Amino acid sequence: MRDCRASEASYSRTTLQNLLEEYAGATKDEMRDHLIAFLREVVPVAEELGVRLAIHPDDPPWSLFGLPRIVSTAEDVRSILSGADAVSNGLTFCVGSYGARADNDLLAMVNEFASRIHFVHLRQVMREPDGSFYEAEHLRGSSDMVGIICALLREEARRKHQNRLDHEIPIRPDHGHLLAADISRQVNPGYSLVGRLKGLAELRGVMHGLRYGIPELGN
């Protein structure tokens, strides 16, 4: 698995309000139907060109400002993947976003959807008893990060055995804390340099440790 960089976008109160008004009255079924209609148009082209599409989950995975959510649970994922059933129609598996919901079994989701995971955000959150959450250290949170990485490495090994060109699953160590020199920098929240490098080092340590201890996971 290799690291990839993030992009960004920003909104003013006015532009955000304008966006919300565009979706006034939209229902979950309508949103899902529109998404699947879109995928049915673009996925065949992606298959033809060897492109991998990877939809990111809702963040957070529950309704905000009255907007319906359609990429928040395992049931949502099943609908999306079956709506345009092809390898190119896949997922960005964000551990933090899916992990913000206590009713999401992330390890079960990775195992079920492994063949359609094309990108991974290894981000960690800690859930609070009241349902809120906060960004946590990559290896200290509510999600079983080591188990998830192990399942992803097994999928990479399976793909490599099949001689798939896309056997490496790109990853990103999302949402690092502000550390040391980051404090004096102008950085976007969650995208600090030193904090993310710390997370990447920890995650790479887990990967190398698993490969060392479980030889069938490969090198």
Q: Is 118 a catalytic residue?
A: no
Domain CATH code at residue 117:
3.20.20.150
Question: CA–CA distance from 187 to each of 2, 5, 181 (Å)?
Answer: 23, 14, 11
Mean pLDDT of the chain: 91
Q: Is residue 101 part of a domain?
A: yes
Domain count, the chain: 1
Residue with tokens 């949402």, as numbered in its chain: 175
Q: Is residue 13 part of a domain?
A: no
More confident residue, 77 or 19: 77
For residues 84 and 34, the answer to whether their CB atoms sit within 8 Å is no
Interatomic CA distance for residues 175 and 169, integer angstroms: 19
111-120, 147-156, 160-169: least confident range: 160-169
Query: Which amino acid makes up residue 215?
Result: P
Question: CA–CA distance from 159 to each of 6, 115, 164 (Å)?
Answer: 25, 8, 5
* Catalytic-role residue among 34, 56, 161, 208: 56
In the chain, % of residues over pLDDT 70: 95
Instruction: Look at residue 192 and give its three-state secondary structure.
Output: coil
pLDDT at 3: 46
* Catalytic-role residue among 76, 98, 118, 175: 175
* Catalytic-role residue among 94, 98, 150, 182: 94
Q: Is 11 a catalytic residue?
A: no
Q: Is residue 14 part of a domain?
A: no
What does the block give as tokens for 103? Answer: 């009713």
Q: Is residue 9 part of a domain?
A: no
* Catalytic-role residue among 76, 98, 118, 121: 121
Give which of 1, 2, 51 is closest to 152, Cα–Cα: 1
N-to-C CA span, the chain: 11
* 185-210 average pLDDT score: 87
Q: Is 174 a catalytic residue?
A: yes
Predicted confidence (pLDDT) per residue in 48-69, tens digit: 999 999 999 999 999 988 889 9
| Sign, CA torsion 62/68/70/71 | negative
10 Å CB burial of residue 29 (0-12, 13-18, 19+) is: exposed
Q: Is 4 a catalytic residue?
A: no
pTM for this structure? 0.89
Predicted confidence (pLDDT) per residue in 80-133, tens digit: 999 999 999 999 999 999 999 999 999 999 999 999 999 999 999 999 999 999
- pLDDT above 70: residue 70: yes
What is the domain extent for residue 85?
Answer: 27-214
Q: Is residue 58 part of a domain?
A: yes
Band (7; pLDDT cuts 50, 70, 90): low
In the chain, % of residues over pLDDT 90: 70
- pLDDT above 90: residue 189: no
Q: Is residue 75 part of a domain?
A: yes
Band (219; pLDDT cuts 50, 70, 90): low
Q: Is residue 18 part of a domain?
A: no
